[in-house]
Structure 1
Amino acid sequence: MVVSPQKRITLRLPLSANRWSRWSLNRIREVSGDSPVVVDLKVRSLLNKLHPANFDSISDQLIAWANKSERERDGRTMIQVIRQVFEKALDEEMWSETYGRLCRKMMEQISSQVQDDGIRNAKGDPAAGGQLFRRYLLNRCQEDFERGWGVKDAVAIPHADEHDSEMQAKSRHADDADSEPGLYSDEYYAIQKARRQGLGLIVFLGELFKLKMLTERIMHECIKKLLGSVENPEAEEIESLCKLLTTIGRILDTNKARAHMDVYFSRMKELARCHNVNLRLQLLLLDVIKLRERGWNPPSRILQADAVSPYPRPLMIFYFSILYARI
C-alpha cells in the first residue's frame, strides 16, 4: 500500500483542564496586584532566588511585599509572607541560617504602620511593626512544634484512584513483617516529608534562638518535651533533640543553665543504652555527648574535611547517611 506524502493524519490529544499556557498567566495578571494568588506567586519566586550573595536585594523586596499590609487591619499580606518563609525554612534545612537572618531583618525593618486590630500588646493597643511580625512567627513555630511531626497522621492520605490503592497495597504487603509503609507508596513519601520538615523546624528554631528571636526558656521547654519519654522514645524526637543541641548547645550550655544541661545529658546517656533505640540513633546521641565533652568543638577531622572538600558539609552528610543506610 502506497501512502501519499501529501496526506497527513493529525491526532488531537484531549486538552487538560489545568494545562499551562500564556493565557493562564495573563489571567493571573488581570487579578488585582495585591490578591493572595499574586502575593504567593511573587513571594515564592523571590524566595527561590534568595542566596547569601543577593540577600540584601531580595530581602528588601520581601519586606516591601510584607509592608503592603499597611492598608489592612488584619495583617493578612504579612501573614502570607511569613507562611511562605516558614514553609521554605522547613523544606530547606541547609538554608535555615539564611532564613533566620531574613526573619530577623524583617522584624527590625517592617513598617510600624502594619498592625492587627485583633492582637493587643501589654498596653492594650493593637500590635504593630516588628512586635506583630515576631508574634505571628512565634505562634506559627509553636503550633507546628506542639502538633509534632505528623508522621502518624501523614499515613492517612486519600488515594487518587483504585490503581493507586492497589499499588500501595502491594507495596505494604512486601513490608508486612516490619509494619512499615511500602517503598514508593504515598504513605512512605508523606512520612519522609513529615520527618524532613520536623527536622527543618528544629534547626530553624535553633537559628532563631541564635539571633535572639527566641528566649532560653523556650529552648529549654523544647528540649524537655523532646526528652519527655525516656522508656519508650520516638525516633523523630531523638533525632530532633540531637539536631537542636548540635545547633544551640554551645550557646545554651552556660554556668546558669549547667544544672539543667547535666540533667538533659544524663537522660541522653540512658537513651544511648536503651534497647528500644536503634543503633543509628544511639550513635547520634553519643556524638552529641562527646561534642559536649570536647567543649562543643567538632573533631579536627571534620574541620579538615570542610576545608579540603569542595562539597558543602550538608551534602557530605547526606551522602554518608545513604552509605550508612546501605551498610
Structure 2
Amino acid sequence: MAELNYINVSKRFGEIDAVKGINLEVKEGEFMVLLGPTGAGKTTLLRLAAGLETCDSGDISLAGKNMHAVPPAERDVAFVFQQYSLYPHMSVYDNLAFPLRSKIRNVSEAEIKKRIDDVAEVLRIGHKLQNKATQLSGGEMQRVAIGRALVRKPALYLMDEPLSSLDAKLRADLRVELKRIQQELGATILYVTHDQIEAMTLGDRIGVLKDGELVQVGTPKDIYTNPDSDYVATRLGLPQINLLPKHCLNEQYSEGGVAFVGVRTEHLEFKADAEGAYSAVVQNVEYLGDQCHLHLAFEQEKITLLASPDKRWQRNDRVSFNLVNPVLFDRTGQRIRGQTY
C-alpha cells in the first residue's frame, strides 16, 4: 500500500473548471471518501490519479513518486467503476483472472489460482467461481468487480460509486463487507460518492467537494459536528440540518454578522405545550419504527425534529422548542466561530 498526494491540482474541460487547486493527502492504509453532488469533480480526481486524464497544473504522487510522466498501465492502481464491466461470456474465475493474465504482469497460473481463491474467500463468492457473469445477482456481480481489483494487489484502489446501482439492502450489506475487506487488507482506498451514508460509514476521513473545490476534510464526526459552512452542514445528516433565518428567532442572534442559525434534528428540545422559547405546529408525522420525525411549520419556515415513536403525534399538534448547540452562519454561508448562545 502507498500514500497518494494531490498537490495544487487543477483540470479544465473547455470552459468548465472541473478541479480547482486541490491539495489532498490520502494516507497509507486509509479509506478516504470524496463526497459531493454530480459535477463536483469527484470522478475527475479519480481519473487524474489513474492517469486517464492529465493535470493542467499541479502534481500527483503515489508512494512518493511523481506520476506526471507515468502512463496509466504502469501506475500501480486498480479502478472499480460504477458499472460492473464484467465479461459476460467468461466465468467468475476468468473475470477475476483477466487482469493477472496480462503480459505486463506475467503472473503464473498457480499464483493466479492462489490469489483468486484468497479473494473469493474474502468476498464470499468461492461457490460462484465457475458461474458465468450473467448468472449472478447484482450484488454478486459487484463483488466480482471489486474482486478483480483486489487480486491485483495494487498500491492504491480507486472506486467510483461502485454501490450506487444496487438496491438499498445490497448497498447496506456491501458497505459492511467493503469496510471489513479494507480493514483486513490494510488497503489504501480513494472512494467517491454522493451518498452521505456511504461517506459516514466507510470513510476514515471525508473530503467534501463543491464545484471542483475541496471545501473541508475531516473525520465523519468532525464534518458532522463541526462544519465550516452551511453547504458542508447540509451534506451530512438525515433529515438535513435545520437552517433558520435569524429574523425568525429572538434578538440573541442579532449580532456578530449572523444570518442563519443551524440546528440538527437531535439538538432541538421540545415539548407538547407552549412553554419553550418558540412555538410551531405539526404539519406531517414520519413514523420510522425506532424513531419519529416531526415536520413543523414555524413562522414561514419548515423544521424537522426527532421525536419519540411512543407518542401518537397528530397533524396540527402544537409544540414548543428550544435550540441546543446551534451552529451560526453568515450571509455567505460561512461558519461564524467563537460565538456561543
Q: Which has the higher relative contact order, 1 or 2, with Cα contacts under 8 A spaced 6 or more apart?
A: 2
Same fold by TM-score, threshold 0.5 exceeded? no
TM value normalised by structure 1: 0.22
TM value normalised by structure 2: 0.21
Q: Per residue, is there more helix in 1 or in 2?
A: 1
